[in-house]
Each structure stands twice: as structure tokens, then as C-alpha cells.
Structure 1
Amino acid sequence: MRFRILLLIAGTVAAGLGLLAVVDGAVADVFRDALYTTVLYLLVLLAAPRARPTAAAGIALGLSFAVEFLQLTRIPPALRLVLGSTFNPPDLLWYAVGAAACLLIHRRLRRPGTGSG
């Protein structure tokens, strides 16, 4: 299970980098934000593979929001590369979209008869 999650993380990062290579501007920002929360969702599942989709989505969304609001403070320069440096309220919406997409996909995959149990 954890190996599959690692593959999904790698695939999500690769998709994000590939997308950013061909799309820029607002569209890239929207997808980057949603994919950021997707990676956090997958990291939650990596740490707690039996986590319920709702809990994983809530934690991932909470972490995304925390990082965004942290940008309102004085972030040390070394951390700006990882955490960003500019608070942008619309990012909160796209984090929520990413968490919701993860929640819906995970629930769908967990349904009996979908082959993943």
C-alpha cells in the first residue's frame, strides 16, 4: 500500500512539473495549489494508510491553510523556497478543491466492486 502511495506522490509531482512546463499564469497557479494539497493528502495516507478519506482531506487542507497563513508572518529566507512567501487568499479555494477531489476519488476507489477494496 505504501509503495503505491509513493508512486502516486511521484506521479503527482511529475504531473505538476509537467503541467508547469507547458502552462503558465493563473491556470498553472490553480493546478499547482490543488496538486500541493494532493501531495499533502498522499503524505497523510503514507503516514496513516488506514486514515479515513474525510480525515485525510481535513488534515491535508488544514496543513495547506496553515502554510498559506504562515506566509503572513516573517518566514526565514531558507524556508521561503518550501513554504512560499506571499499570502494569496484565492489559494485557499484551490487547496479546498484539491482536498475535495482527493476525498471524492479516494471514496470512489474504496467502494466495493472498484477493485481496490
Structure 2
Amino acid sequence: MRHDPSTSRHRRVAAVIIGAVVVAAGLAVSEFTPAGMVADAAGDALYAALVYLIAVFVAPRAAPWKTALAALAWCVAVEFFQLTGLPEVWGAAFRPLMFVFGNVFAASDLAFYGLGIALACAIDVVSRSRVRAEPRG
């Protein structure tokens, strides 16, 4: 199968647009949702979905399962990095870093990362199959 450069370009543009929506949703959750399990779960899932979209942007031709695996590897690595205490220190010094690295390890975050990535991957697979099914003219 030949590579269509416009497909990569369209996937990157879509990843940026959808990523902006995900960031806005994440900021809204952070700002307007009362602190607690629901806010944490939503934030974790949105973070993971954004990581998936960044992986799509970086490697638009990669199979969705590979993109999902890369996103999950990043999320798991960041979560375990929190055990060092450095993300908490960095976040205290510069709050935006908390959105990237979090602050305190929570095993439940791993499940919500998986959920966010699984949803993003499922949407990606469905949208890719729809694009392939559309007649070209």
C-alpha cells in the first residue's frame, strides 16, 4: 500500500485540533470541577488522550495499537517518575509542570490512563476506517 502524504498531514492537523479541545476540557475540569475522584479520573483520562494525540502527531502513519502502546508507556513512566518526588518539587516551583508530570504517585491513575488511551485509540480506529471507506473522487 502506498503512502498518501495528505493522510499524514490530515492526521496531524486533526491531532492538533482535537488536542486543543482536549487541553481546553482538561483545563475546565481542573478549574471548575470540585477536587476529588471524578476530577482526578477525568483529568487522568484527558491527559492520556492528549498523550495519544501527541503520539499521532509525531508518528501519523503508525498503527493505532502502536500509538496507544507508546502513549501508555509515557503515562506509566511519568506516573512512576512521581515516586522520586521530583515532579512535586518542580510543580511547586512552576505550576504548569504539574500538568505534564503530575505530583504524587497514585496507582489508580494508571487505570484512568488506560481508559483515556483506549477511548482515544477506539475513536482513531473508527475515524480511520471511515476515511478509508469514503470514495475518493
TM range (shorter): 0.7 to 0.9
Deviation per CA, 1:93-114: give whole Å up to 9, x if none.
0001011111211111111xx2
Q: Find the aligned partners of 1:87 and 1:61 in 2 and give their Cα distance.
A: 16
Task: Kindly indicate whether the alpha-carbon contact (under 8 Å) linking 2:44 and 2:113 is maintained by their aligned counterparts in 1.
Answer: yes
Query: Does residue 61 of structure 2 align to residue 50 of structure 1?
Result: yes
* C-alpha RMSD of the superposition: 1.6
| Structure 2: gaps (5+ residues) | 1-9, 92-96, 133-137
Secondary structure of the residue aligned to 2:74 is helix
Please identify, of 35-44 and 80-89, the stretch whose mean Cα deviation from structure 2 is larger: 80-89
Q: What is the CA distance between 1:4 and its match in structure 2?
A: 1.9
- Equivalent residue for 1:29? 40
User: Are residue 11 (structure 1) and residue 29 (structure 2) matched?
Assistant: no
Q: Return the alpha-carbon distance in structure 2 between the equivalents of residues 78 and 91 of structure 1.
A: 19
Where is the helix percentage greater, Structure 1 or Structure 2? 2
Question: What does 1:49-88 align with in structure 2 at a 5 Å threshold?
Answer: 49-75=60-86, 77-78=89-90, 81=98, 82-88=100-106
Unaligned runs of 5+ in 1: none
Q: In structure 2, what is the equivalent of residue 110 of structure 1?
A: 128
Normalising by the residue count of structure 1, what TM-score does the alignment of the two structures yield? 0.88
Provide the C-alpha distance between the structure 2 equivalents of 1:110 and 1:26, rounded to a whole number of angstroms: 33
Aligned residue for 2:105, secondary structure, equals coil
Number of matched residues?
Answer: 114
Q: Which residue of 1 aligns with 2:118?
A: 100
